[in-house]
Amino acid sequence: MKKVSNLIKAFSFLGKASVMVMMLFFILAIIPSLLTSHSPYIPSGGALTPPSTLHWMGTDDLGIDLWAQICHGARSSLIVGFGTAFLAAGGGSLIGILGGYYGGKLDGCLMRSIDLMMVVPELPTMIVLGAFFGPSKMNIIIVLSLFSWTRPARIVRSKILSIKEEKYVKVAEGYGGGFSYLARRHFLPQVFPLIMVNFIKLISRAIVAEASLSFLGLGDPTSKSWGLILNHAMSFRGIYFTDFWKWWIIFPLLCIVLMVLAISLISKEIENLLC
Amino acid sequence: MKKKRKILGFKQYIIIFLCIITLNFFIPRLMPGDPFTFLSAEEGQDHTAFSSEDIERHKKYYGLDQPLWQQYISYVRNLLKGDLGYSIHYKEEVLTLVLSRIAWTLSLVIASVLLSAAIGVFLGTISAYYRNSSLDKILYSGLITLSEVPSFIIALVMLFYFAAHLKLFPLSGGMSHFVDFSSRWEMIKDILLHAFLPLMALTITRIGEFYLLARNSMISILDKAYIKTARGKGLKRRRILFYHALRNAIPPIVTRIFLSFGGALGGAVLVENVFNYPGVGRLMRQGVFFRDYPLIQGIFVVMTLFVLVMNYTADAIYKKLDPRVS
């Protein structure tokens, strides 16, 4: 914890501002029901009312409060982002460590599958998988992870390949250190900063991908997400000819942009400081 | 952390394509449920009940009574013949549907990649020449930030600002309907006007990628001795930059152009849906909306094929331009 706060202290002004923005989003995600008295599912006012003191960000075509939807949307964005990043960074680095350490056939196999994943077009494949396996949050996380594990795996593998030849690892091996001991004591601590930087990038990628999928109508329909609000607004007939887009589109749009930019700035700062 | 890409051979691409086809073959078969309920019972619709003889007959007709490997072989054989299946919603061959729409998407994708490459390389070259100046810093941070924002978000902003608010561009579609164009030129103008905003949205997100690539390679090239020689000869700055230096930065840029098609295609799927552009991406979303699985799968195969061909071309060109890669 102390390390993290020291790290944040070393950030530039923009980096600190991004941390603040992310904290705000976290607050939205953790206690949405305290921040708004309206429900994100049940109409609480007239349809399509512009922002007012009662409805901060106005309402959509069903009269559902947009601020409530945005708060709950922050939760699903962050769940998908962090879920994917944990799964992909964890799985990817495990695969990278295994491949790098054992080498041989296992490594060859893993490298081939990484090559395969690199050339397959991402979004179309995600659409097909999403369409067939049904839009639930869990499925979205799994599908996104399927496309995100390759980068951490490759980075970790090349790092392990160089660490493996170091003298202290050879010595540890000579004294009978097994794979799990080496992984715990020597590999993970060195690989950790690399994974950290990658972890944050994975979060923002996953959030963008989730927003894109929900925008296409493949999001989890039972929970609110920013992409879903946009999808809903865009399928409202003739929304361009009205003023409704001034709140219905702009607020979710701003949230996505803010979050993605904040995460990318944080990852740049960490990259500069750690690597 | 430098991104290293492995050069793949023709055989490997064939294997990858086979993997994709196999995936495509197994996905519907892994789904829970029966093909008959799958085709006929949608929520909120009347459920057509089949008698067991009917089911037997249909199974025979669709070849579902055969063992899995025979189904697989006939699936691959049909695919090679260009038979992508039959769309449930549009009641038409998937291939004809895709072919009627694909020109819109491809022209959008290709034009946006080329345009972003041109702009990105130009800005990158300038940025490398005025390294560490305030111009360089502004360009660098601005373009990197822009490339983080997904293209459909930029598309939405453009749609509502330039088309809906300022009314400078048409709102949606690929061209005006029910209009008699007085000349061919009028029609082209109309199509270009419709394509402008989607094209810009796709282009802006990709500029950063080419900008970074060009800037990095130009910075190392501008330190080389032959640039000093050119400068010593008293050549004009423009000639040094765009003739002597850029020439040596071209190979990685050309391969990157071909590699970008995959990402641009994904962006186009989203951007088309923002502008209701009549391309394949829009068709795919219609497929998702109407649960038209054969259509989604057919489009997926065509898109994958396109991306794989582009990647293969990139590798081939890279080998040709850089003889060190064998």
Digit-coded pLDDT (tens) for A9-49: 888 888 889 999 999 999 988 888 777 777 888 887 777 77
Contact A120 B16 (CB under 8 A): yes
- In this structure, how many other beta carbons lie within 10 angstroms of the beta carbon of residue A222? 10
What percent of chain A is predicted at pLDDT more than 70? 99
Instruction: Please indicate, yes or no, whether residues B186 and B281 belong to a single structural domain of this protein.
Output: yes
In 3D space, the residue among A202, A246, A223 whose CA is nearest the CA of residue A49 turns out to be: A246
> With an 8 Å Cβ cutoff, is B86 touching chain A?
no
Buried b (16+ CB within 10 A) or exposed e, B203-214: bbbbbbbbbbbb
Q: Tell me the C-alpha distance between B253 and B217, whole Å.
A: 10
In 3D space, the residue among A78, A133, A94, A84 whose CA is nearest the CA of residue A263 turns out to be: A78
**Mean pLDDT value across residues B152-181:** 83
- The answer on pLDDT for A155 being more than 80 is yes
Position A135 scores a pLDDT of: 79
Q: Is residue B13 part of a domain?
A: no
Highest mean pLDDT: which of A26-40, A54-68, A169-183, B256-270? B256-270
Instruction: Please indicate, yes or no, whether residues B51 and B110 belong to a single structural domain of this protein.
Output: no
Instruction: Please indicate, yes or no, whether residues B76 and B190 belong to a single structural domain of this protein.
Output: no
Phi-psi bin for A203: left (phi > 0), alpha (psi -120 to 50), beta? alpha
Position B202 scores a pLDDT of: 93
Q: Is residue B229 part of a domain?
A: yes
Q: Tell me the C-alpha distance between A139 and A127, whole Å.
A: 12
pLDDT tier, B3 (very low <50, low <70, confident <90, very high otherwise): very low
- Give the gyration radius of chain B's Cα atoms: 25
Following DSSP, what letter does each residue of A5-69 receive, concatenated? Answer: HHHHHTS-HHHHHHHHHHHHHHHHHH-HHHH-SS-SSS--SSTTPPP-SSSTT-B-TT--BHHHH
Q: Is residue B127 part of a domain?
A: yes
Q: Which of A115, A127, A274 best tests the B interface by mutation, with the highest count of B CBs <10 A?
A: A127
Position A11 scores a pLDDT of: 82
What percent of chain A is predicted at pLDDT more than 90? 20
> With an 8 Å Cβ cutoff, is B29 touching chain A?
no
Q: Tell me the C-alpha distance between B168 and A234, whole Å.
A: 20
Position B6 scores a pLDDT of: 64
**Mean pLDDT value across residues B261-270:** 91
Chain B CB contacts of A230 under 8 Å are 156
Contact B296 A211 (CB under 8 A): no
Q: Is residue B259 part of a domain?
A: yes
- Residue from the list B171, B269, B297 with its beta carbon closest to the beta carbon of A240: B171
- The answer on pLDDT for B36 being more than 70 is no
- In this structure, how many other beta carbons lie within 10 angstroms of the beta carbon of residue B192? 11
Contact in structure between B308 and B17 (CB atoms under 8 Å)? yes
Instruction: Please indicate, yes or no, whether residues B171 and B69 belong to a single structural domain of this protein.
Output: no
Q: For residue A255, what are the contacts with CB-CB under 8 A and spacing of at least 6? A: A25, A70, A73, A74, A226
Show the tokens assigned to A29. 């995600």
**Nearest chain A Cα to B258, which residue?**
A119
Chain B CB contacts of A252 under 8 Å are none
Which residues span the domain enclosing B45? 18-80
- Residue from the list B5, B288, B300 with its beta carbon closest to the beta carbon of A216: B288
Q: Tell me the C-alpha distance between A269 and B2, whole Å.
A: 18
3-state SS, residue B93:
strand
3-state SS, residue A3:
helix
In 3D space, the residue among A93, A88, A108 whose CA is nearest the CA of residue A156 turns out to be: A93
Chain A CB contacts of B152 under 8 Å are 212, 215
Let me know the angle formed at the C-alpha of A275 by A256 and A81, rounded to the nearest 5 degrees: 25
**Mean pLDDT value across residues B226-254:** 86
Instruction: Please indicate, yes or no, whether residues B23 and B70 belong to a single structural domain of this protein.
Output: yes
Show the tokens assigned to B154. 């930029």
Q: CA A1 → CA A5, A31, A76, A77, A263, distances in Å?
A: 6, 23, 25, 24, 19
pLDDT tier, B325 (very low <50, low <70, confident <90, very high otherwise): low
Show the tokens assigned to A186. 């020597």
3-state SS, residue B86:
strand
Q: Is residue B139 part of a domain?
A: yes
CATH number at B140 reads: 1.10.3720.10
Instruction: Please indicate, yes or no, whether residues B143 and B46 belong to a single structural domain of this protein.
Output: no
Answer with the residue of higher pLDDT: B40 or A67. Answer: A67
Which ipTM did the prediction report?
0.84
- Residue from the list B20, B27, B152 with its beta carbon closest to the beta carbon of A212: B152
How much is the mean pLDDT over chain B? 84
Phi-psi bin for B216: left (phi > 0), alpha (psi -120 to 50), beta? alpha
Answer with the residue of higher pLDDT: B111 or B165. Answer: B111
Q: Is residue B7 part of a domain?
A: no
> With an 8 Å Cβ cutoff, is B188 touching chain A?
no
Alpha helices in chain A (DSSP H): 2-9, 13-30, 32-35, 66-102, 104-119, 122-133, 137-148, 150-164, 167-174, 179-182, 188-215, 226-234, 245-248, 250-274
Domains of chain A: 14-42+66-274 (1.10.3720.10)
> With an 8 Å Cβ cutoff, is B137 touching chain A?
no
Q: For residue A252, what are the contacts with CB-CB under 8 A and spacing of at least 6? A: A66, A69, A70, A73, A226, A227, A229, A230, A233
Chain A CB contacts of B266 under 8 Å are 121-124
Q: Which residues pair with A59 in a beta bridge?
A: A65
Instruction: Please indicate, yes or no, whether residues B243 and B317 belong to a single structural domain of this protein.
Output: yes
Of how many residues is chain A composed?
Answer: 275
Domain count, chain B: 2
Structure confidence by residue, pLDDT tens digits, A238-257: 777 777 878 888 899 999 99
pTM over the 0.95 mark: no
Q: Is residue B126 part of a domain?
A: yes
